[in-house]
């Protein structure tokens, strides 16, 4: 059986909210990527997320809430966490904090911290409101494959393992949220770069916010599996390069649209190189190249200039290209 893709009508949203309340799974759009959602306080429902994704149990889930007030029911907030939540929620920022006892261990992989985010996507918010429960939702893809940014991507990856997909069109950010560890507020650190940058966080927190770069060991409980060396990866061998150049059976992905007519193996991530456009298109184009029957994909590296989405994009591109 294949999953149903539901148009975002009010009656469909009400039906899907009921599915979630009674422990079912629904793939939902968010502004970052599509998430595979379940009732976060229902351990059995959350276990089904791990099963559907083939996700190892040591890879904790992000819990989605409407706002700070709902988040405070699930975690012990400190002033620093309240400040960044007030500034960046709803939005692509996940905050890691000590969990309260109502959060089941399956969600946090047995750990004593929980990752929380208030999404900005209007459909995610409406579903949270209608369901009236927090929603655990990792990306709606088979573990370690490219994240989905359309309902069709979810269908391709999980269509035979889940029943419901809510269609919200294409994700507007296109890369996963920034994960900020504030369990110790005097030592904030970024576990995964995203659209909310270290500079933006440092400004609000009035201290440096380093990014943890060392990759996690897959045997230990993962601090942030987004930090696994290989993640977000196509099945086709992928090489990051300064200058994609034709080879037989090679897909070439450029940062900006090359001038003139291009052969079918040439792809691009933006018209003029704008980072937000590159982020929106990265996963879609990687998927297209991955299913094009090529022996190799060459992906053009970002230039060395930093700022904005550059850290998140460099991170995803490197991990997508990493070898097992």
Binding residues for ligand AMP, rule: CB under 6 A, are 60-62, 94, 96, 108, 111, 113-115, 138-139, 176, 179, 191-192, 222-226
Contacts with Mg ion in 134-173 (CB under 5 A)? 139
> From the CB of residue 174, how many other CB atoms can be counted at a distance below 10 Å?
27
User: Which does residue 225 touch among ligand AMP, Mg ion, none (CB within 5 to 8 A, set by kind)?
Assistant: ligand AMP
Q: CB of residue 4 vs ligand AMP: minimum separation in angstroms?
A: 23
Of 73 and 229, which has the nearer Cβ to Mg ion?
229
CA gap 251, 315 in Å, rounded:
21
Q: CB of residue 135 vs ligand AMP: minimum separation in angstroms?
A: 12
Q: CB of residue 108 vs ligand AMP: minimum separation in angstroms?
A: 5
Residue 233 lies near Mg ion (rule: CB under 5 A): no
Cβ atoms of 299 and 211 within 8 Å: the answer is no
- The pattern of x and - marking residues 101 through 140 that bind Mg ion according to CB under 5 A reads --------------------------------------x-
Of 13 and 228, which has the nearer Cβ to ligand AMP?
228
Residue 32 lies near Mg ion (rule: CB under 5 A): no
Sheet containing 266-268: order of strands = 237-241, 296-300, 250-254, 266-268
Of 87 and 161, which has the nearer Cβ to Mg ion?
161
Q: CB of residue 30 vs Mg ion: minimum separation in angstroms?
A: 12
Beta bridge partners of 297: 238, 251
Of 24 and 225, which has the nearer Cβ to ligand AMP?
225
Q: CB of residue 245 vs ligand AMP: minimum separation in angstroms?
A: 33
User: Which does residue 62 touch among ligand AMP, Mg ion, none (CB within 5 to 8 A, set by kind)?
Assistant: ligand AMP
Q: CB of residue 219 vs ligand AMP: minimum separation in angstroms?
A: 15
- Rounded to 10 degrees, the C-alpha dihedral 29/35/40/42 comes to 110
Q: What angle do CA 203, 84, 149 make, to 5 degrees?
A: 105
Q: CB of residue 110 vs ligand AMP: minimum separation in angstroms?
A: 10
Count interface residues toward Mg ion (CB under 5 A): 1
The two tokens of residue 34 are 């599509």
Of 195 and 222, which has the nearer Cβ to ligand AMP?
222
In sequence order, what are the residues at sequence separation of 6 or more whose Cβ sits closer than 8 angstroms to the Cβ of residue 237? 295, 296, 297
User: Which does residue 201 touch among ligand AMP, Mg ion, none (CB within 5 to 8 A, set by kind)?
Assistant: none
User: Which does residue 97 touch among ligand AMP, Mg ion, none (CB within 5 to 8 A, set by kind)?
Assistant: none
Residue 94 lies near Mg ion (rule: CB under 5 A): no
| Site residues, Mg ion (CB under 5 A) | 139
């Amino acid at each position: 059986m294949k999953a149903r893709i539901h148009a975002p009508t009010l009656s469909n949203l009400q039906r899907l909210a009921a599915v979630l309340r009674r422990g079912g799974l629904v793939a939902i759009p968010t502004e970052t990527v599509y998430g595979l959602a379940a009732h976060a306080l229902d351990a059995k429902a959350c276990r089904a997320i791990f099963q559907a994704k083939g996700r190892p149990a040591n890879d904790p889930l992000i819990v989605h809430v409407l706002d700070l007030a709902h988040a405070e029911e699930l975690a012990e907030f400190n002033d620093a966490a309240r400040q960044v939540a007030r500034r960046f929620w709803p939005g692509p920022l996940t905050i890691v904090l000590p969990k309260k006892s109502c959060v089941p261990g399956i969600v946090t992989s047995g750990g004593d911290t929980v990752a929380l985010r208030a999404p900005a996507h209007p459909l995610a918010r409406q579903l949270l409101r209608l369901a009236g429960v927090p929603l655990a939702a990792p990306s709606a893809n088979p573990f370690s494959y490219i994240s989905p940014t359309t309902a069709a991507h979810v269908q391709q990856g999980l269509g035979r393992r889940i029943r419901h997909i809510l269609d919200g069109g294409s994700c507007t950010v296109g890369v996963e949220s920034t994960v900020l560890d504030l369990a110790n507020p005097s030592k904030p650190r970024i576990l995964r770069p995203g659209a909310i940058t270290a500079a933006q966080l440092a400004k609000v927190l009035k201290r440096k916010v380093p990014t943890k770069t060392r990759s996690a060991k897959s045997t230990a409980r993962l601090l942030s599996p987004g930090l696994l060396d290989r993640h977000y990866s196509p099945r086709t061998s992928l090489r990051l390069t300064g200058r994609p150049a034709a080879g037989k059976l090679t897909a070439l992905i450029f940062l900006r649209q090359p001038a003139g007519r291009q052969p079918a193996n040439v792809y691009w991530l933006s018209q003029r190189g704008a980072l937000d456009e590159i982020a929106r298109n990265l996963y879609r184009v990687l998927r297209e190249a991955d299913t094009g029957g090529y022996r190799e994909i060459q992906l053009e590296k970002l230039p060395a200039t930093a700022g904005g989405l550059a850290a998140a994009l460099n991170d995803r591109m490197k991990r997508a290209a990493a070898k097992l």
